[in-house]
Amino acid sequence: MSHVSFLDQVYRMYEKAAAHTKHTDGIIDQIRICNSVYAMEFPLKRDDGSIGVVKAWRAEHSHHKLPVKGGIRFAPNVNEDEVVALATLMTFKCAIVDVPFGGAKGGVKIDRRDYSQTEIERITRRLTFELMKKNLIGPGVDVPAPDYGTGAKEMAWILDTYNQFTDQPLDALACVTGKPLGQGGIHGRTEATGRGVFFGIREACQDKAAMDELGWNVGLKDKTVVVQGLGNVGYHAALYLQEGGATIVGLAEYEGAIHNPDGLDVKDVVRHRKETGSILNYPGATNIENSVEALELPCHILVPAALEAVITTRNASRIQARMIGEGANGPVTADADAILLEKGCMILPDVYLNAGGVTVSYFEWLRNLSHVRFGRMNKRFSQSSSEKVLRAIEKGTGVKLDETLIQEAIAGGDEVDLVNSGLEETMSAAYHQIAEAARKEKTDLRTAAFIVAINKVAVAYKEMGIFP
């Protein structure tokens, strides 16, 4: 772990980008600072009757757009500095993918493996109550989502607790995203971050200029990948990369890692881990007992998707991958970033690459507020319009079109198709914005992503009449 705090790392990356902009120091300070952090400590009655104390934080980084948005993390090492750093990244992330929210983040300092399901439920409900008391949750103020150590189940408890106390039930579903499907969730949210990671990496691999710089062919087909963390983000990223044609040669979890240069089947590795309780001893693969060493395996693309500060000055020079896809937030420290760039690595930064989660959370929030499933109003209409066009072409040309192709072409989008195409478009457009800024400013993609974000937030402040 680097001695420089996570927040300082983020600030160093921010200042590097700010130097490329023409904003005054005051504006740069205003965009950087965290508006507020709320620290909580509350009691927990454990299953054995004893009382424990739980520490938690909610940081709201920027109110230039409302609501603010950011996940809630359950992790043993979480602290105020980390929560503020993550909230700061959220502001920039939302700006990069044009999601009209400010950034926020929550953290609860627990190792969830030490708690039963009912204890986790009590913690989550109490946390929601604490947030409600301070007006730090609500569809128009602050909307949490899953992050490390939390998922749809915790979001359902948050919603249920919020529903019990709110006097605004109409829009209550929009107080949290990443909910289960039956409780206002949206198709595609669970896998959204990992799918976005895949779209981003695929887009970069389609960028001829970028591939030329790396001396690589265009496309995913001949690429080998190592993924660290087989949780929500890592699992889905690995799965879609495999389905997209890449070869997954290494997978790392906290208990160890496995390596097979001929390729690993992601779903089967997860089945093996569930059955045996460990990723190790997967048939045909070599064990790596010290999991962190998997980051140094030979491969084209490395996707750290567990936690921050895993690539530091201690191991950066030994990283063999030339493309780093930051699935996790802050996996590369600022000093390690400099070493990797010096080595000619292309780093797809967290503020861009893992923005798929907040993008689809935005779609979920919109759906909750509009009280209608995407595609419900227009599916039949667009089907019949497309069919009319195709039949007119047949009539006009006298050529009978293939009926299967016609049926495929007129199939209107279901919600999941609309969500996935919205996500694909968002990740693709954001990549090109960042890549263009990088070329214009002759800088790396992270700095470019921060430049794009700073400029967008500055425009928002200007529109509000706050900055001249």
Where does this chain bind ligand NAD (CB under 6 A)?
Answer: 71, 146-149, 193, 228-234, 252-254, 291, 305-307, 327-329, 354, 357
Whether residue 212 contacts residue 255, with contact meaning beta carbons closer than 8 Å, is answered with: no
Closest CB 201 distance from ligand NAD, rounded Å: 15
Closest CB 30 distance from ligand NAD, rounded Å: 25
Q: Name the closest residue to ligand NAD (Cβ).
A: 231
Of residues 16, 65, 69, 105, which has the active-site annotation? 105
Distance CA 328, CA 197 (A): 10
Distance CA 386, CA 383 (A): 5
Using CA atoms of 248, 191, 93, 103 in order, give the dihedral in degrees to the nearest 10. -140
Of 341, 315, 309, the closest CA to residue 5 belongs to 309
Closest CB 355 distance from ligand NAD, rounded Å: 7
Those residues with Cβ within 8 angstroms of residue 179's Cβ, 6 or more apart along the chain or in another chain: 152, 155, 156, 159, 173, 185, 189, 364
Nearer to ligand NAD, 30 or 193 (CB): 193
**Radius of gyration over every alpha carbon of the chain, rounded to an integer in angstroms:** 23
Closest CB 261 distance from ligand NAD, rounded Å: 20
Classified as helix, coil or strand, 151 is coil
Please spell the DSSP secondary structure of 249-299, one letter per residue.
EEEEETTEEEE-TT---HHHHHHHHHHHSSSSS-TT-EEESSGGGGGGSS-
Nearer to ligand NAD, 306 or 347 (CB): 306
Nearer to ligand NAD, 75 or 220 (CB): 75
Nearer to ligand NAD, 96 or 252 (CB): 252
Closest CB 147 distance from ligand NAD, rounded Å: 5
User: Bridge-partner residues for 347, per DSSP?
Assistant: 324
Whether residue 184 contacts residue 159, with contact meaning beta carbons closer than 8 Å, is answered with: yes
Closest CB 238 distance from ligand NAD, rounded Å: 11
- 105 has catalytic annotation: yes
Classified as helix, coil or strand, 396 is helix
| Residue located via tokens 């044609």 | 245
Nearer to ligand NAD, 232 or 443 (CB): 232
Q: Where in 185-270 does DSSP place strands (E)?
A: 224-228, 247-253, 256-259
Nearer to ligand NAD, 28 or 307 (CB): 307
Known catalytic residues? 105
